[in-house]
Amino acid sequence: MTDVAIIGASMTQFGEREGWVSDLLAEAALDCLDDTGVRAEALDHLYVSNMASGEFEGQTGVPNALAHDIGALGAYTQRVDQTSASGGAGIYAAWQSVASGASEMTLLVGGEKMTHRTTGETTDVIASLTHPHEYKHGVTLPSFAGLTARAYLDRYDAPREALAEVAVKNHHNGVDNPHAQFRKEIDRETALDSPLVADPLRLYDFCPITDGSAALLVCPVDVAREYTDTYVRVAGVAGATDTHVVHERRDPTTMDAVVKSGERAFEQAGITPDDVDVAELHDMFTILEFLQYEDLGFAEKGAAWEDTMDGVTARDGDLPVNTSGGLKSKGHPLGASGVAQGYEIYTQLAGEAGPRQVDADTGVACNVGGFGNCVTTTVFEVDG
Amino acid sequence: MTDVAIIGASMTQFGEREGWVSDLLAEAALDCLDDTGVRAEALDHLYVSNMASGEFEGQTGVPNALAHDIGALGAYTQRVDQTSASGGAGIYAAWQSVASGASEMTLLVGGEKMTHRTTGETTDVIASLTHPHEYKHGVTLPSFAGLTARAYLDRYDAPREALAEVAVKNHHNGVDNPHAQFRKEIDRETALDSPLVADPLRLYDFCPITDGSAALLVCPVDVAREYTDTYVRVAGVAGATDTHVVHERRDPTTMDAVVKSGERAFEQAGITPDDVDVAELHDMFTILEFLQYEDLGFAEKGAAWEDTMDGVTARDGDLPVNTSGGLKSKGHPLGASGVAQGYEIYTQLAGEAGPRQVDADTGVACNVGGFGNCVTTTVFEVDG
């Protein structure tokens, strides 16, 4: 199996953007190529992580359009869709393309354009990833999050403030991320007093609707050395699936697909959760940061809220989580989010994170599709 | 690189089907597993080739639903989309998953459910894969086909009857395929007298709108031997991209993505076009069978029509093409078609094709997305 490296990463400004998703994809793609000095003509494979350009824009075949736009007509193109985990699935696909020997230079670009549609339309598209019977009965992802948060707070005797602290921390981190959608501090009271959405969760427990794109350039380690000394290795990457019907799960406060994908990725990398220095977790809802933190093995079940309140996951803590600002403040352009997690870990491990830099040689990204229906976890390492 | 084998294949009845695409996918998946004796729990990866379940049915996350439905919750799932070449892209993804060592047992299932929508709605969804400016000006895939057919007939002094002969041949083959949508002979006059669609192409130059699904079970050759003596090797598989704007191409009668993907796949397999015994070509429109036949190197440019008229591509000819009936008579459920091409070649090479059996150790499938915007070509071999 070929050792796989990331030699470049980019992301666009996240937020409300003009243009088509194709424009956003081209922006991230060209930035990534420019930074590394790799020509578009040199790409063997070009993957696009995107959930719903057909539904949002009436456009499919977006990978073809991107290959045309950036001058990569020599490349093989394909769209990778795993709903809100499309970005992580893209990292896995890019890794497989290089590890299998099919490609010596793969560009992965994730993106979504959503803000031109109404919130209702957007919610309908996102809800299409749930089981149709759930959707028919009004159980959308936010309502699952509310039910799960209630169960978690009750079972683990956690204070409501702990969820607010996730939002406070991630907004604080986002201030130092020039690409983040929201670059503003919030305090705990602002989060706790914000409008109720799905009891006990309030507005500041939810990520926004976002346009944006991110890219990673992936190749064999042997090839990476020709371009840069600061490449990052993909030490482990794996995915897993949970029941499509959420209420059939054994425990509402555990996401088995997070557990399994984490175990597989850690095993491949030959590390344990204790070896991880920095993590990007899929905080589409604040409660999800707790679940992933525990299900990946960073703490016992029910202990994430205490670690958060104690500052363990803060930027100056023992295990900084979501130094990028997370989906909460950075934004969540569905197909881009998993790739942007990879961008953040790459940037931290390469020592290029500026004011939000932490000390890290090993990083993890966990990208969650649906309500844990499909998850990918990636372990990144730099020879430190 | 791990040697990759196909140990099982299945397809559902193609045509107008009841239910959701999830039902069709589950039917093909379970058939494939039943035939081989592989349990759903043993699957490492589960790929779904599908272009537009979101647009056709308002459902995304279909791979998760399938994993749940067939009891494959241990598997990693992902959707592979490359518009009408999603099936071929799925073969490539499945191959990469095994060749990279990520998976020891990958089930690929391709499917589409379309007939419940009106022809206008379906045409709109398919047209979304073209460049938006083409679509705005009314240049849909059928009109590209008409323009290309006119150029081909003119340049190569080919008779209109040669296009009709493709339809006659493929309908003849489809009679012996129990899964085909249309199992009826047609004669040349029927094709030539059918209603005009895009001059010079008439109704019988076009594939129908179809529901259906197909599956392939893929694993390392070493694992294949534990299950069967009749596995088929994936000797070569590759993809390529052409301009997204069709009129920017250098030659309207050549599809460069077919040329490149074919060259790459043949090189990987270490064979030449002369070594091929049977081929499934993407005859969405009759003219496309000529282009692929030539662009893959089975004949000089402009010679496909003569080979067809001379019976070279007939079932008892030197290089039988579309023994399945092709998209023309078998039907074209977008995401399923490339996988169903694989099913046909597997079945022929395994000697299980019944009344349509030909003598073949090496087969090729060519799956075309858009109007040649993205193409995958796969070379299959059996140790004969």
Chain B residue nearest residue A130, CA to CA = B61
pLDDT classification of A222: cutoffs 50, 70, 90: very high
Residue B136 above 90 pLDDT?
no
**Measured between CB atoms, does A51 come within 8 Å of chain B?**
yes
pLDDT classification of A384: cutoffs 50, 70, 90: low
Q: What share of chain B is helix, strand, coil (3-state, %, to 5)?
A: 45, 20, 35
**Strand, helix or coil at A124?**
helix
Alpha-carbon distance A199 to A208, whole Å?
Answer: 18
Chain A residues in contact with B72 by the CB 8 A cut-off are 241
pLDDT at B303: 98
DSSP state of B321: B
Chain A residues in contact with B130 by the CB 8 A cut-off are 61
pLDDT at B132: 86
- What's the distance, Cα to Cα, between the start and end of chain A in Å? 23
Alpha-carbon distance B20 to B34, whole Å?
Answer: 21
pLDDT at B60: 96
pLDDT at B252: 93
Alpha-carbon distance B147 to B142, whole Å?
Answer: 9
Number of neighbouring beta carbons within 10 Å of residue B34: 11
pLDDT at B14: 98
Q: Across residues B181-204, what is the average pLDDT?
A: 97
Q: Which residue has the tokens 């083409």?
A: B134
**Measured between CB atoms, does B19 come within 8 Å of chain A?**
no
- One-letter amino acid at A280 equals E
A374, B260: Cβ pair inside 8 Å? no
**Strand, helix or coil at B33?**
helix
Interface with A, mutate which of B44, B51, B55, B76 (most A CBs under 10 A): B76
**Strand, helix or coil at A378?**
strand
Q: Is the dihedral angle over the CA atoms A144, A255, A313, A341 positive or is it negative?
A: negative
A75, B241: Cβ pair inside 8 Å? yes
Chain A residue nearest residue B41, CA to CA = A241
Domains in chain A with CATH codes: 4-117+210-233 (3.40.47.10), 132-206+236-330+344-379 (3.40.47.10)
pLDDT at A383: 82
pLDDT by residue (tens digit) across A226-276?
999 889 999 999 999 999 999 999 999 999 999 999 999 999 999 999 999
φ, ψ dihedrals at B331, nearest 5°: 105, 165
CB A380 within 8 A of CB A362: yes
CB pairs under 8 A between A and B: 187
Q: Which residues are bridge partners to A5 per DSSP?
A: A219, A233
**Measured between CB atoms, does B194 come within 8 Å of chain A?**
no
Chain A residue nearest residue B4, CA to CA = A100
φ, ψ dihedrals at B117, nearest 5°: -100, 160
Alpha-carbon distance B102 to A92, whole Å?
Answer: 9
pLDDT classification of B1: cutoffs 50, 70, 90: confident
pLDDT by residue (tens digit) across A287-344?
999 999 999 999 999 999 999 999 999 999 999 999 999 999 999 999 999 999 999 9
Chain B residue nearest residue A78, CA to CA = B82
Alpha-carbon distance B128 to B83, whole Å?
Answer: 9
Q: How far is B134 from chain A (nearest CA, A)?
A: 12
Pick from A55, A97, A239: CB nearest B76: A239
Burial bucket for residue B342 (CB in 10 Å: 0-12, 13-18, 19+): buried
Alpha-carbon distance B222 to A135, whole Å?
Answer: 44
B142: preceding bond cis by omega (within 30 degrees): no
Residue B178 above 70 pLDDT?
yes
**Measured between CB atoms, does A195 come within 8 Å of chain B?**
no
Number of neighbouring beta carbons within 10 Å of residue B367: 34
Chain B residues in contact with A242 by the CB 8 A cut-off are 73
Q: At what angle do helices B21-36 and B62-70 cross, to 10 degrees?
A: 40
Alpha-carbon distance B84 to A217, whole Å?
Answer: 27
Chain A residues in contact with B69 by the CB 8 A cut-off are 244
B239, A78: Cβ pair inside 8 Å? yes
Q: How far is B18 from chain A (nearest CA, A)?
A: 17
Residue A362 above 90 pLDDT?
yes
Among B368, B364, B280, smallest CA distance to B321 is for: B280
Q: Which is more confident, B232 or B136?
A: B232
Q: How far is B65 from chain A (nearest CA, A)?
A: 5
A244, B68: Cβ pair inside 8 Å? yes
Pick from A68, A100, A261: CB nearest B96: A100
pLDDT at B74: 86
Pick from B1, B52, B128: CB nearest A101: B1
**Measured between CB atoms, does A54 come within 8 Å of chain B?**
yes
Written as six digits, the tokens of B332 are 């074209």
Alpha-carbon distance B203 to A42, whole Å?
Answer: 42
Contacts of A198 (CB under 8 A, 6+ apart): A142, A143, A145, A146, A147
Residue B384 above 70 pLDDT?
no
Written as six digits, the tokens of B261 are 């993907």
B333: preceding bond cis by omega (within 30 degrees): no
Q: What percent of chain A has pLDDT over 90?
A: 96
B374, A129: Cβ pair inside 8 Å? no
- Give the pairing type, strands B278-280 and B362-369: parallel
**Measured between CB atoms, does A101 come within 8 Å of chain B?**
yes
Alpha-carbon distance A243 to B337, whole Å?
Answer: 28
Give the B window 299-318 contacts with A, CB below 8 Å. Answer: none
CB B264 within 8 A of CB B374: no
Q: Which is more confident, A139 or B89?
A: B89
**Measured between CB atoms, does A128 come within 8 Å of chain B?**
yes
Q: What percent of chain A has pLDDT over 70?
A: 100
**Measured between CB atoms, does A196 come within 8 Å of chain B?**
no
* Degrees to nearest 5, angle at CA A65 with A63 and A70: 95
Radius of gyration of chain A (CA): 19
Q: How far is B101 from chain A (nearest CA, A)?
A: 7
Among B173, B103, B127, B183, smallest CA distance to B348 is for: B173
Residue A1 above 90 pLDDT?
no
Pick from B46, B72, B244: CB nearest A64: B244
pLDDT at B201: 98
Radius of gyration of chain B (CA): 19
Chain A residues in contact with B244 by the CB 8 A cut-off are 61, 64-65, 67-69
Alpha-carbon distance A94 to A229, whole Å?
Answer: 21
pLDDT by residue (tens digit) across B252-297?
999 999 999 999 999 999 999 999 999 999 999 999 999 999 999 9
Chain A residue nearest residue B264, CA to CA = A102
Chain B residues in contact with A101 by the CB 8 A cut-off are 1, 99
Classify B311 in phi/psi space as left (phi over 0), alpha (psi -120 to 50) or beta.
Answer: left
A244, B65: Cβ pair inside 8 Å? yes
Q: What percent of chain B has pLDDT over 70?
A: 100
Residue A365 above 60 pLDDT?
yes
A373, B64: Cβ pair inside 8 Å? yes
**Measured between CB atoms, does A78 come within 8 Å of chain B?**
yes
B200: preceding bond cis by omega (within 30 degrees): yes
Pick from A59, A76, A101: CB nearest B241: A76
Residue A74 above 90 pLDDT?
no
A99, B95: Cβ pair inside 8 Å? no
B61, A78: Cβ pair inside 8 Å? no
Q: Which residue has the tokens 């490359």?
A: B82
Residue A133 above 90 pLDDT?
no
pLDDT at A319: 98
pLDDT by residue (tens digit) across A28-72?
999 999 999 999 999 999 999 999 999 999 999 999 999 999 999
A77, B238: Cβ pair inside 8 Å? no
Q: How far is B51 from chain A (nearest CA, A)?
A: 8
pLDDT by residue (tens digit) across A165-184?
999 999 999 999 999 999 99
Among B256, B225, B237, smallest CA distance to B371 is for: B256
pLDDT at B231: 97
Number of neighbouring beta carbons within 10 Å of residue A41: 11
The pTM score is 0.98
Alpha-carbon distance B292 to B283, whole Å?
Answer: 9
CB A59 within 8 A of CB A90: no
pLDDT at B137: 87
Chain A residue nearest residue B20, CA to CA = A132
Chain A residue nearest residue B79, CA to CA = A81
**Measured between CB atoms, does A63 come within 8 Å of chain B?**
yes
What is the CB-side half-sphere exposure of residue A120 using CA atoms within 13 A?
0
Interface with A, mutate which of B77, B91, B130, B234 (most A CBs under 10 A): B77
Q: CA of A219: how far to CAs of A102, A107, A114, B239, in Å?
A: 11, 9, 31, 18
Give the A window 248-277 contacts with B, CB below 8 Å. Answer: 260-261
pLDDT at B235: 98
Contacts of A95 (CB under 8 A, 6+ apart): A4, A218, A234, A237, B100, B102
B51, A73: Cβ pair inside 8 Å? no
The overall average pLDDT reported for chain A is 97
**Strand, helix or coil at A364?**
strand
A95, B97: Cβ pair inside 8 Å? no
Q: Which residues are bridge partners to B140 per DSSP?
A: none
Q: What share of chain A is helix, strand, coil (3-state, %, to 5)?
A: 45, 20, 35
Pick from B51, B61, B125: CB nearest A129: B61
